[in-house]
Amino acid sequence: MTPAASGPLIETRGLDARYGDFQALFDVNFEIAAGEVVALIGANGAGKSTLLRCLAGLLAVPPGTVCLAGQPVGGSAPHEMVRRGLALVPEGRRLFVGMSVEDNLRVAIDQARLLKVVSGADPWTLERVQALFPILKAKRRAAVESLSGGQQQMVAIARALLLQPRLLLCDELSLGLAPLVVREIYAVLPGIAAAGTAIVLVEQDVGLAKTASTRLYCMLEGRITLSGRSADITREQIAEAYFGAGHHAMA
Amino acid sequence: MQWLDALVQGLLLGGLYAQYALGMALMFGVMRIVNTAHGDLVILLALIGVSAATTFALGASAVLALLIPIAVLLGWLLQRLVLNRVLSADPLPSLIATYGLSIALQNLMLELWSADSRSLSGGGIEADSFAVGPIFIGVLPVLIFLAATVMSAGVDATLRFTRFGRSLRAAASDAEAASLTGVNPKRVYAMATALAVGMLGVAAVCQALRATVSPADGPAQLIFAFEAVIIGGMGSAWGAFLGAMVLGVAQSIGFRIDAGWGVLSGHLVFLAMLAIRPTGLFARRA
Amino acid sequence: MNTMTIDSMAATRAGSEAILVQRHSPSSKISGFLMLLAFGAMLSMPWWAEAGTMRAVVELSCYIAVAQVWNLLAGYAGMVSVGQQAFVGLAGYALFVLANKFGVDPFLAVGLCVAVPALVAIPAYALLHRLDGPYFAIGTWVVAEVCRLFASTLDYLGASSGMTLRAISQYSPEAREFGTVWLAAAMLLAIVGGSYLLLRSRHGLALTAMRDNPVSAASQGVDVKRLRFLIYVAAAAGTGLAGAVYYLSALRISPAAGFDANWSSICIFIVMVGGIGSLEGPLIGALLYFAADRLFGRYGATYMVVLGVLTLMVALFARKGLWGLWAPYVDAPWFALRRRLLRSSSLHPTRPQSPT
């Protein structure tokens, strides 16, 4: 393991991805360095979730197309990627229904220990995530299906953090949540990044994505159409990359 | 007193059925697979046990110690070689695959052991009984009942409190999310099947001690296990246990009414349960 | 007013072309002809075939029939049953009871007795339909077992020794052969022909949609629940018909035979190895099973082990069976079930072209 971040933490090179006959990604080159927060925006069906799934090991891709710290890991099994320090907060939360909040978190704690995931100096513990999201302690015995959408999102994020990830992939955290709750959740992200975890944010809300990230990529129909520093990119550039050439102006 | 006797005998019979039902509840609750060869596996293990006992002059405890590891291995192999290939939302492949396996096993056993009934000798324990008030209770049925209770408690505790149990419940709830949380679903399923079939090792010894076994007996045991699980409510170890009790009592009472009505009464109670309370007595999400 | 119909729109765009839907293909025409020949040969059997041969053909017909019905149930309606033997036995016993105890002409009784399995299927479905897939299957087995146990305890039905078809003695052996063979032929026509017509119709489209994706089918207006129920009852009647013909030919029925779980094993083997979800598959599977049974049946249990292992292998590695292995490479369906859109450059538009 190289001590200094001399290259990207994870990168894709010419990544193609298919669902059966349908090609979802075309020659995607994506990278993120340790501790960065990178946003991934685009319309529905652009391929954002597909890219995350490729990174997490849910889609079979050639090994060389996805590299983690220089090692080819494309197509590895998801639990293998967890062992290597990657965690995905899936779209729609995907909590373990029928189990309590604490049990949901314990699964992550168990597996992190079992897989011997190498954690940093200050590992995520049950107490630390409960400090981050106090609701997790208050409702620890409640069945997850009884929680509100925002609370479930907190459980999902905590569950991913407890895997001690070097790279946290967040797929549409704001989906279906009230703006106040979204703000509450996004408020904790800088702290997570500061602790050394790189974060990829897939977001529908372009404004939120811009302010929460240092760099962003925009995708359209399976291709990267724009990339750059979030602060430098203009609305016009985003609109063009988001909707494609020949779009008409909107508000 | 005849009815009290029937009740008690029924509960004790339920103990044996509970041992079959636990494994099935585990496999269906977790993987949504019904192993049609479930009953045949018990018979296979029992026949192996009986043969080992006669060939090596083993007592019942030694046979038990021998069968459990064999059963665990069988379960693990079953999952890795057969069931892992048929895990999907479509129930057809797993049903057909295990059905084919069931036919093959039954006939293989017929070839190897012939159709004769066999039983295991427990050194007299099969005949021991003690009196509780006006009723005579067999020692063996009580032991079987106690074993079933211990096994049910064990499975329930394992699911609730152990790392393995949590990962199993997670994989049952959402296999993909579980894999994203670091669980290796196929490995966890293999362990679950190994546990489920391992318990059948105990059931095999109990069955062989209490009654006779012959190669064609498998389907009947499968049906009893299935009825117990449905009556009790799916996804619950104690549900399977109590469902088995109800089934045992139904059969026992039916048998007292008319010798040919024992098994039929169990079926009728099962069908009535489907009509009245299809989710079972103790429905709980897996 | 610029109203355009689809016809005239197509006519305007494409010139004077019309759109045709082609159902037949060369192979289906050939196989249709061959099947007609075979059917005719079967009908003529009483004049030239031996008794043993006729018995064998009747048996094969029954296997084809139960298998096609199971294929409709499992391959199209998505309901896997391992208890179809309930309906075989119910119809068989109903036949014997009608003929022996009520004096109904045995050949007529074959047609009437299917009412019994159909009626029993109604409450059976009501009880079972809420069960999950694999549990539904075992539930059907329990229903079959209940029927078997009732039959073996009721003295009216001869208890465990069963019944013989005494009523057939009113007919000479030649008349019996005619009647049995022709009934078997009629049964094949009803079941295989009926399946074909069903799948050809819009109900067939609904079935295929239901098989592929019940939720989407429902969203398109297919009443999935009702269709499933109707198919289950129809399958009970169809299986019963095959059972009645079989036991008409066998002249004896007992609980162990009529409600034998082996009927399900036969269905499963034939359909899975032949090819589920197609009409061709069960035909292939039935011929294969029949040949294997005649050639290797004497090896008893070992033969059954091989059948079981084959079923297992097919389920693991070749889910669409033999037809599924063959069909992707050779496009030669035996039945005219496809819908091909063709443009014909015929110059007979049905209405004058609208001004562009």
Q: Is the CB of residue B162 less than 8 Å away from at least one CB of chain A?
A: no
Closest CA to A163 of A225, A116, A93, A218: A116
**Containing H/E element for A24?**
strand A22-32
- For residue B286, list chain C residues with Cβ-Cβ distance below 8 A: none
The answer, yes or no, to whether B and C have at least 3 beta-carbon pairs within 8 Å is yes
Could you list the mean pLDDT of each consecutive 10-residue stretch along chain C, which spans 356 residues? 49 58 81 87 87 90 95 90 95 94 90 95 92 87 95 89 88 88 93 89 82 78 85 95 94 93 93 91 92 87 91 91 86 78 59 48
Q: Which ipTM did the prediction report?
A: 0.90
Token pair in block for residue A213: 């990230």
Secondary structure (3-state) at B97: helix
Task: Return the ∠ at Cα B115 (arms to B112 and B121), rounded to 5°.
Answer: 85
In the numeric block, the tokens 């489907």 are attached to B274
How far apart (Å, rounded) are the C-alpha atoms in residues A31 and A28? Answer: 10
* Contacts with B85 from chain C: Cβ below 8 Å: 316
pLDDT (tens digit per residue) in A233-244: 888 888 888 887
- State yes or no: chains C and A have 3 or more CB pairs below 8 A: no
Residue of B nearest to C318 (CA): B93
Phi, psi dihedral angles at C201 (to 5 degrees): -80, 180
In a domain, A138, yes or no: no
Return the CATH number of the domain spanning residue range B2-118+137-276: 1.10.3470
pLDDT for B50 equals: 93
At how many degrees (to 10) do helices C51-71 and C262-274 cross? 70
For chain C, the structural domain boundaries read 37-283
Measure the N-to-C terminal CA separation of chain C; round to a whole number of Å.
12
Within 8 A of B266 by CB-CB distance, chain C residues are: none
CATH assignment of C37-283?
Answer: 1.10.3470
Instruction: State the pLDDT at residue C271.
Output: 95
Mean predicted lDDT score pLDDT of chain B? 89
The structural domain count of chain A equals 1
Please list, in sequence order, all residues whose beta carbon lies within 8 angstroms of the beta carbon of residue C14, skipping any fewer than 6 positions away. C343
Task: Tell whether B174 is within 8 A of chain A (Cβ).
Answer: yes
Note whether B97 contacts C: Cβ–Cβ < 8 A. yes
Contact between C150 and C93 (Cβ < 8 Å) = no
* Per-residue pLDDT at A120 exceeds 90: no
Break chain B into its structural domains and give their ranges.
Answer: 2-118+137-276
* Disruptive mutation site among B158, B181, B191 for chain A (greatest number of A CBs within 10 Å): B181
Task: Work out how many CB contacts closer than 8 A connect A with B.
Answer: 73
Alpha-helical segments (H) within chain A: 48-56, 78-83, 101-114, 126-132, 135-138, 149-161, 179-186, 189-194, 206-212, 235-243
Dihedral-angle region of residue B124 (phi above 0 means left; psi in -120 to 50 means alpha; beta otherwise): left
Contacting residues for B100 by C-beta, under 8 A, at least 6 apart: C268, C307, C308, C309, C310, C311, C312, C313, C314, C315
Q: What is the pLDDT of residue A3?
A: 46
A66 domain residue, yes or no: yes
**Are A38 and A170 in contact, with CB atoms under 8 Å apart?**
no
Subunits that touch chain A (at least 3 Cβ pairs < 8 angstroms)?
A: B
Q: What's the confidence (pLDDT) of residue B235?
A: 67
Nearest CA to A39 among A204, A161, A220?
A: A204
What CATH number does the domain containing A205 carry? 3.40.50.300
Residues of C in contact with B274 (CB under 8 A): 127-128, 130-131, 139
Yes or no, beta carbons of B28 and C310 under 8 Å apart: no
Interface of C with B (CB under 8 A): 74, 80, 82, 126-128, 130-135, 137-139, 141-143, 145-146, 149-150, 152-153, 261, 265, 268, 272, 276, 301-302, 304-305, 307-316, 319
Distances (CA, A) of A126 to A73, A83, C100, C197, C321: 29, 19, 77, 63, 52
Considering only CB atoms, B180 lies closest to which of A78, A112, A117, namely: A78
A20: domain range? 10-94+165-243
The shortest C-alpha distance from A96 to chain B (Å) reads 6
Burial (CB count within 10 angstroms: exposed 0-12, middle 13-18, buried 19+), residue A163: buried
Question: Would the CB atoms of C146 and B267 count as touching at under 8 Å?
Answer: yes
**Which residues of chain C neighbour B216 with C-beta distances below 8 Å?**
none
How far off is chain C from B21, nearest CA to CA, in Å? 13
Residue A101 lies in a domain: no
CB-based contact, B261 to chain C, within 8 Å? yes
Of B182, B184, B285, the CB nearest to A108: B182
Buried/exposed C254-286: b ≥16 CB within 10 Å, e otherwise? bbebbbbbebbbbbbbbbbbbbbbbbbbbbbbb
Instruction: Summarize pLDDT for B122-166 with one digit per residue, the tens.
Output: 777 777 888 888 888 888 899 999 999 999 999 999 999 999 999
Binary contact (B28, C130; C-beta < 8 A): no
> What 3-state DSSP class applies to B162?
coil
Is A120 contained in some domain? no
Amino acid identity at A195 = A
Instruction: Say which DSSP state B165 is in.
Output: H
Query: Token digits for A194?
Result: 């500061």
pLDDT tens digits, C215-251: 788 888 778 888 889 999 999 999 999 999 999 999 9
Main-chain dihedrals φ then ψ at residue C162, nearest 5 degrees: 85, -160
Residue A5 belongs to a domain: no
